Amino acid sequence: MKITLEFSWTRVLKYFTWLSIICFLIAAVLFFSCGRFLKLIRKIPVEIWIGLSFSLSTFLYGASYCLCNLGPEHRWIYFAHNVKYIVEFLNGLGSISFLLLLFCITYHWSVKLEKKVDLNVLTCAAFFCYGFVGYMTNSSIAWVASQVSLGVLFNVVTGYSHREDHATYSLGIFKPKLVCMLGIILIFFPFSGVLTTTLSTITQTFGCLYFFISLWILSLFEKERLLWNFAFIGGSILVMSIGLKIDDHLFSRFGLVFLLIEFYTLYFENFWGVEYKSLFFLILGLTFAGIAFFGKHVSKYFVKK
């Protein structure tokens, strides 16, 4: 028996490109959050930092756009096969540079000019900038940054606090109903055919995240919790059904995962103090088995029709 092992340099380049961008992003966040960076800003005029970060981000975005539009005959041999990942790398560095630009503008307005900074304006600028670059270069990294900026614009925030005895991660959605509507729009917008396959997948992923997480929060903290629990279950089943109908694994997996999350949430809320905890999962397992059994026969009936 002969076993052949294939080694793909394309995948290696893809993974190392993403790893390098993640490392650069972590390094930038750690650099921005330390006190030495603020001392460095005080020594160097902030206008110079704004000019440098703007020039660097413009150069990197321009280079990625030019590289995308070059014909194969004008590329080097190395670029011809790996242009996609090099564009992603340039867009990742450009996104970090643009983030530095927004940070310097915020510092300049709030500290130097002593004026109140409207963070929504800066977040909206980040969304349009990242979205434009991602759309023009078909960049996954820039488009992900635009979707994150859109979530921040709708008051989706995360936080991390570390103490001596424990660490806490928090996720906050201050307007869950509005974020839920945003998720629905992001889920169905790619069906218009405006976006490419890569950008459509990213958009629908963030749409499912915003939609289900906001529904989960509403089912936990809203006054009419029973209504929102039914909405959560119905939304999960609907998204899973759409995924099965159009053969989309993204929708089917999201619907199944969050349906299980909702059932586990109901279990811990209502059945944690019950003596026979296994009864809940027994009934749940029988329900799923019945749906799978009858669903198979029903689908065969519709196929014959």
Q: Does residue 299 lie within any of the structural domains? A: no
Please tell me the total count of domains within the chain. 2
Q: Does residue 257 lie within any of the structural domains? A: yes
For residues 131 and 232, state if they share a domain: no
For residues 40 and 89, state if they share a domain: yes
pLDDT tens readout for residues 261-281: 888 887 777 766 665 667 667
Residue finishing a domain among 132, 153, 174: 153
Buried-state track 247-281, b at ≥16 Cβ within 10 A, e below 16:
eeebbbebbbebbeebbebbeeeeeeeeeeeeebe
For residues 109 and 213, state if they share a domain: no
pLDDT tens readout for residues 87-137: 777 888 888 788 778 877 777 777 666 667 677 778 888 889 888 988 888
Q: Taking the CA of residue 65 as centre, how many other CA atoms within 13 Å lie in the half-sphere pointing to its CB?
A: 14
For residues 22 and 144, state if they share a domain: yes
3-state SS, residue 154: coil
Q: Does residue 116 lie within any of the structural domains? A: yes
pTM of the model: 0.73
Q: Does residue 1 lie within any of the structural domains? A: no
For residues 148 and 229, state if they share a domain: no
Its domain, for residue 195, covers 183-288
Statement: residue 206 has pLDDT above 90: yes
CA distance linking residue 54 with residue 58, whole number of Å: 6
Residue finishing a domain among 109, 138, 153: 153
For residues 13 and 145, state if they share a domain: yes
Q: Is residue 251 within 8 Å of residue 208, measured between CB atoms? A: yes
Q: Does residue 22 lie within any of the structural domains? A: yes
For residues 81 and 211, state if they share a domain: no
